[in-house]
């Protein structure tokens, strides 16, 4: 992660948030190339999952939302992290992360002969086998820390007894809305984009021609007051989600079939559209303990980040839980009319939910390559932040610079995406700078260009060069950027 972090800062992918004032924990700013990459990923997601399908519509719901939405969804009561504090160095950490990281480093620990009050030997054995403690309550985690003397990862010599008890903290950000007094002024920054799709369900049904099965998709910011582990943008308090609620009639559609179809689409998006290596991906099915009580099946697509396999994208069959909850709390029916039977149907839902920032971190981790002295980001050309760079061989020869400017202006007009100009340093250094941000093509205008109207096109991945007529350049690059 250190090499990636250094590259992020050096080349303008990601900067620490509020750095000028000493920084603000768990926040990040995206620099010029990072912003382009993030936008390209979002646009591609939108195109693939909304624009190119005929069973999807989009939504852009408010970030600030009524407190009753979050009461109905269960977030005000149950959306919390179990945290524990080291009494010595005051580090606050998520208890599940502390335990899972410790277990993965101490797989060979002898668990025989331990006595528990709230845990059971079977539960502990499963945790050592799966390296997961999801579904454990604070008392169970506190007991594990105590029984196995789990040390503080920061100050290292802190035995289990010096931890506080594990306690739960709600993740939602409450906000007070201006002039309205009392409870009415309480609102929340949304903790997930998903609720927008349930709250606007009837609006979408009444204002469009959708028919079951159909999905509502949304890309946008969500906010969670999380403690993070410092793995760049993997987990932040403000992040972007790309979520889909896919509504269907359980009497007419087989949920397993739909679920598997979504698995395939997610996999294809990551491998074919984003070009990620399949060996760095795996599916993980949630156990009964881990899965939410209303979910019939949940699977995570995990990516092998520099800090290990972690959740990239969740897929859950949530039954009709969310619509039913909102029906109950809002006292309004949330149904569609079946045009064949004229009966009311309360749809069930399958939810693929991904963090756009995690897709961003994944494509950068996956593309990062060192070849001798050369660091190259082998990003899929479709999402590369800069599509092409144009260089005059020498910056002090007016004929070369003039010709290069003509090519640059032409490509700026004709290529979909960013084209940059660079005349600093020698050609080798310019190549290295572009390789580090993953620019697929570098075009050099040299003395031959003045004679025959051809340019050198250098390919990022193979570093090979070919001569191409200027008249063919835009078409050739555009076809390779698809
Ligand atoms: N509506 C379901 C939902 O929000 P989630 O597993 O909490 O489910 C979905 O979030 C996805 O959002 C995750 O798989 C992850 O990619 C991303 N995500 C969640 N919390 C995040 C955070 N704090 N920072 C960055 N991405 C996050």
pLDDT in tens, 258-274: 999 999 999 999 999 99
Choose the residue to mutate in 69, 299, 301, 353 for probing ligand 1, maximizing ligand atoms within 8 Å of C-beta.
353
- Cβ of 313 less than 6 Å from ligand 1: yes
Q: CA-CA distances (angstroms) from residue 351 to 135, 237, 348, 441?
A: 20, 22, 10, 38
Whether residue 102 contacts residue 152, with contact meaning beta carbons closer than 8 Å, is answered with no
Q: What is the mean pLDDT of residues 99-116?
A: 91
Where residue 182 falls among pLDDT bands split at 50, 70, 90? Answer: low
Look at residue 180 in the predicted model and tell me its pLDDT: 62
- Give yes or no for residue 175 having a pLDDT over 80: yes
Whole-angstrom distance, CA of residue 289 vs CA of residue 302: 19
| Bigger pLDDT: 431 vs 161 | 431
Which atom of ligand 1 is the closest one to the Cα of 235? Answer: 24
Where residue 288 falls among pLDDT bands split at 50, 70, 90? Answer: confident
CB half-sphere exposure, 418, CA atoms < 13 A: 18
Look at residue 89 in the predicted model and tell me its pLDDT: 83
Q: How far is the CA of 32 from the centre of ligand 1 (A)?
A: 25
State yes or no: cis peptide before 288, omega within 30 of 0: no
Residue nearest to atom 8 of ligand 1 (CA): 353
Whole-angstrom distance, CA of residue 33 vs CA of residue 118: 51
Q: What is the mean pLDDT of residues 329-350?
A: 95
Q: How far is the CA of 37 from the centre of ligand 1 (A)?
A: 19
DSSP conformational letter for 150: P
- Cβ of 189 less than 6 Å from ligand 1: no
For all residues of the chain together, what is the average pLDDT? Answer: 93
- Cβ of 311 less than 6 Å from ligand 1: yes
Q: What is the mean pLDDT of residues 28-52?
A: 97
Q: How far is the CA of 447 from the centre of ligand 1 (A)?
A: 53
For 334, the enclosing helix (H) or strand (E) is none
Q: How far is the CA of 237 from the centre of ligand 1 (A)?
A: 11
Whether residue 299 contacts residue 266, with contact meaning beta carbons closer than 8 Å, is answered with no
Whole-angstrom distance, CA of residue 348 vs CA of residue 114: 44
Closest CA to 100 of 158, 139, 153: 153
The strand pairing partners of 189, in sequence order, are: 64, 173
Whole-angstrom distance, CA of residue 414 vs CA of residue 108: 60
Residue appearing with tokens 């025959």? 452
- Give yes or no for residue 183 having a pLDDT over 60: no
Look at residue 158 in the predicted model and tell me its pLDDT: 57
pLDDT in tens, 398-454: 999 999 999 999 999 999 999 999 999 899 999 999 999 999 999 999 999 999 999
């Amino acid at each position: 992660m250190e090499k990636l972090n250094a590259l992020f800062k050096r080349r303008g992918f990601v900067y620490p948030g509020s750095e000028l004032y000493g920084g603000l924990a768990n926040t990040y700013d995206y620099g010029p190339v990072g912003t382009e990459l993030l936008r390209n990923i979002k646009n591609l997601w939108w195109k693939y999952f909304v624009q190119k399908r005929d069973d999807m519509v989009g939504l852009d719901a408010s970030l600030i939302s009524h407190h009753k939405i979050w009461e109905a969804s269960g977030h005000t009561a149950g959306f919390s992290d179990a945290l524990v504090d080291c009494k010595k160095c005051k580090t606050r950490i998520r208890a599940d992360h502390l335990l899972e990281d410790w277990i993965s480093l101490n797989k060979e620990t002898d668990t025989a002969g331990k006595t528990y009050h709230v845990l059971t030997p079977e539960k502990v054995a499963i945790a050592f086998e799966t390296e997961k403690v999801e579904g454990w309550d604070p008392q169970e985690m506190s007991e594990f820390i105590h029984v196995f003397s789990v040390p503080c990862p920061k100050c290292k010599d802190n035995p289990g007894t010096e931890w506080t008890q594990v306690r739960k903290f709600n993740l939602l950000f409450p906000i007070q809305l201006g002039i309205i007094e009392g409870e009415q002024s309480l609102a929340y920054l949304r903790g997930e984009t998903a609720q927008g799709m349930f709250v606007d369900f009837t609006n979408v049904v009444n204002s469009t021609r959708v028919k079951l099965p159909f999905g509502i998709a949304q890309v946008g910011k969500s906010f969670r007051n999380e403690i993070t582990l410092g793995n760049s943008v993997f987990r932040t308090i403000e992040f972007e989600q790309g979520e889909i609620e896919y509504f269907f009639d359980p009497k007419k559609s087989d949920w397993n079939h739909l679920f598997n179809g979504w698995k395939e689409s997610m996999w294809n998006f990551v491998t074919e559209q984003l070009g990620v290596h399949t060996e760095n991906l795996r599916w993980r099915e949630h156990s009964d303990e881990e899965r939410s009580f209303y979910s019939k099946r949940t699977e995570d697509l995990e990516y092998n980040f520099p800090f290990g396999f972690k959740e990239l994208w969740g897929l859950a069959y949530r039954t009709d839980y969310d619509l039913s909850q909102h029906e109950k709390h809002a006292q309004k029916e949330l149904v569609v009319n079946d045009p064949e039977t004229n009966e009311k149907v309360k749809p069930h839902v399958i939810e693929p939910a991904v963090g756009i920032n995690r897709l961003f971190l994944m494509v950068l981790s996956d593309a990062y390559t060192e070849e001798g002295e050369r660091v190259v980001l082998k990003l899929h050309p479709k999402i590369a932040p800069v599509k092409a760079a144009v260089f005059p061989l020498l910056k002090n020869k007016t004929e070369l610079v003039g010709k290069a400017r003509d090519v640059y202006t032409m490509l700026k007009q004709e290529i979909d995406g960013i084209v940059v100009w660079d005349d600093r340093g020698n050609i080798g250094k310019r190549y290295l700078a572009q390789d580090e941000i993953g620019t697929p093509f570098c075009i050099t205008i040299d003395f031959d260009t003045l004679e025959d109207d051809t340019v050198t096109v250098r390919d990022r991945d193979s570093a090979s060069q070919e001569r191409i007529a200027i008249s063919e350049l835009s078409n050739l690059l555009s076809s390779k950027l698809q």
